[in-house]
């Protein structure tokens, strides 16, 4: 059997990294982000990265770590509002950004992973997002052509994984992870819990192992909360 | 006297129908959830992949893996399901969500909406707003009637880059309610905040609209 489980993140990323590469990452805000693999990318020193990710982390966490070390040259994201260092680099012209509506970004990753080079969507028609893109009228309504995304590497975070690379996500930490997993030429997953063969219920697997080439047990599971909102007990 | 934010949210909540699946934007629209009438059963959707949002958690219930699109901690209900972002936007783009309530910087008389960027300022990105206005069947905007400089936000044309073209069905401001029966029609003035006159609204509105007060 091919050994997908690697002892640590550097070993799981060995031979996959090069300057100027495109990396797709799962996560929404700081929820469900591959913390361990992001730290390993920081340590690798890989530069000129195009990062495909819904958000850009915060200053000292998530993809913000790679921004702080100037390893990211371009972000493809829907919303980057929580990161001051991002703002500084962007305004200084040091960082390129391609804004992509959130649903379009999810679908671009899904399409890329499913072998679909482009698709038409209503989202963004008549806005700056559609400028310079081909449009087509279906049943009297205008749609814009968006491209599928295939990344050199995808990094994802899952709750549980088995030696075959089957993954189960937990609650809203699923978000972009399943699509990211499909759109990588190589996909590396970090999991909070490694389980044995047969321990995952086949009907409950979110990402089948065919999409996951390498797997590690996550060592960074801080799961920082961006907006801790609490209700009073009595309510 | 202008409506408060809570009163505006309550007016939007009155538009919810039993059985609706609804997406509430960040900010004042979030308050709509506090005003849902008894007997009206509504399922709230959050575009990060959660269908069936519960209330904010107690300290003991906080779970970093359960957040809404505003990245706030939230709780589950007995109906809750989780989906991927692609499936979540499939619900939205596919027209399966009946109603969305959003904030706005500007709305034009033809239903154009601008709420994502101001040229020359740091642009944070559209998030899911463009997908929501393109796919959700009915869009209600909650916004102040004029901006901080006193400029009308309901305008002939949007001056800011659009989030969507011809996508707004109803506008609830702190002064008035505008609505239109379909996206080919002009907006109608449907309601006024207590003590606000139709003329005052006319003076603070750049858009053309028809008066249809009950």
pLDDT in tens, A127-155: 999 999 999 999 999 999 999 999 999 99
CA distance B4 to B149: 19
Would you state the structure tokens that stand for residue A5, as one six-digit string?
């489980």
Q: Can you say whether the dihedral through the CA atoms of A27, A29, A34, A39 is positive or negative?
A: positive
Does any CB of chain B come closer than 8 Å to the CB of residue A171?
A: yes
CB A175 within 8 Å of CB B69: no
Does any CB of chain B come closer than 8 Å to the CB of residue A92?
A: no
**Which of chain B's residues have a Cβ under 8 Å away from the Cβ of A105?**
85
| More confident position, A81 or A175 | A175
Q: What is the DSSP string of A56-108?
A: --BTTBTTHHHHHTT-EEEEEES--TT-HHHHHHHHTT-SEEEE--HHHHHHH
Q: Is the pLDDT of residue A235 over 50?
A: no
Q: Does the global pTM surpass 0.90?
A: yes
CA distance A206 to B86: 13
Cβ <8 Å between A28 and B59? no
Distances (CA, A) of B210 to A191, B185, B214: 58, 10, 13
Cβ <8 Å between A102 and B126? yes
Residues 197-216 of A with CB under 8 A from B: 206
Whole-number pLDDT of residue B95? 97
Whole-number pLDDT of residue A232? 80
B47 is catalytic: yes
pLDDT in tens, A156-204: 999 999 999 999 999 999 999 999 999 999 999 999 999 999 999 999 9
CB A53 within 8 Å of CB A176: yes
Cβ <8 Å between A103 and B65? no
**Nearest 10 degrees: CA dihedral of A144, A131, A134, B125?**
-40
Cβ <8 Å between A123 and B131? yes
């Amino acid at each position: 059997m091919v050994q997908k489980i690697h002892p640590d993140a550097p070993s799981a990323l060995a031979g996959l990294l090069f300057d100027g590469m495109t990396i797709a990452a799962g996560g929404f805000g700081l929820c469900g982000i591959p913390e361990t693999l992001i730290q390993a990318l920081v340590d690798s020193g890989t530069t000129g990265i195009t990062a495909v990710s819904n958000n850009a982390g915060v200053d000292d966490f998530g993809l913000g770590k790679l921004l702080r070390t100037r390893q990211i040259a371009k972000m493809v994201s829907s919303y980057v509002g929580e990161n001051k260092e991002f703002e500084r680099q962007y305004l200084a012209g040091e960082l390129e950004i391609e804004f992509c509506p959130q649903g379009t970004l999810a679908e671009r990753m899904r399409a890329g992973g499913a072998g679909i080079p482009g698709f038409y969507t209503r989202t963004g028609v008549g806005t700056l997002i559609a400028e310079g893109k081909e449009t087509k009228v279906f049943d009297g309504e205008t749609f814009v052509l968006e491209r599928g995304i295939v990344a050199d590497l995808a990094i994802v975070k899952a709750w549980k994984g088995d030696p075959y690379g089957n993954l189960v996500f937990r609650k809203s930490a699923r978000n972009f992870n399943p699509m990211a997993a499909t759109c990588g030429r190589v996909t590396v997953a970090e999991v909070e819990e490694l389980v044995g063969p047969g321990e995952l219920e086949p009907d409950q697997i979110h990402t089948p192992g065919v999409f996951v080439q390498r797997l590690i047990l996550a060592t960074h599971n801080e799961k920082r909360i961006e907006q801790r909102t609490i209700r009073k007990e009595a309510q | 006297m202008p409506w408060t934010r809570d009163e505006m949210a309550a007016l939007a909540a009155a538009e919810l129908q039993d059985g609706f699946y609804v997406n509430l934007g960040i900010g004042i629209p979030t308050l709509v959830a506090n005003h849902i009438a008894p007997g009206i059963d509504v399922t709230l959707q959050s575009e990060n992949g959660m269908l069936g949002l519960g209330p904010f958690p107690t300290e003991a219930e906080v779970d970093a893996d359960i957040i809404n699109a505003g990245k706030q901690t939230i709780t589950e209900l007995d109906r809750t399901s989780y989906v991927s972002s692609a499936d979540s936007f499939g619900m939205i783009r596919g027209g399966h969500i009946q109603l969305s309530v959003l904030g706005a910087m500007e709305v034009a008389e033809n239903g154009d909406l601008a709420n994502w960027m101001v040229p020359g300022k740091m642009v944070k990105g559209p998030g899911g707003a463009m997908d929501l206005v393109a796919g959700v069947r009915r869009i209600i905007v909650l916004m102040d009637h004029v901006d901080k400089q006193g400029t009308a936000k309901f305008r002939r044309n949007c001056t800011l880059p659009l989030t969507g073209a011809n996508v707004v069905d109803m506008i609830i401001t702190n002064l008035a309610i505008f609505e239109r029966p379909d996206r080919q029609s002009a907006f109608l003035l449907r309601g006024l905040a207590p003590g606000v006159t139709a003329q005052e609204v006319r003076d603070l509105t750049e858009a053309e609209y028809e008066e249809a007060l009950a």
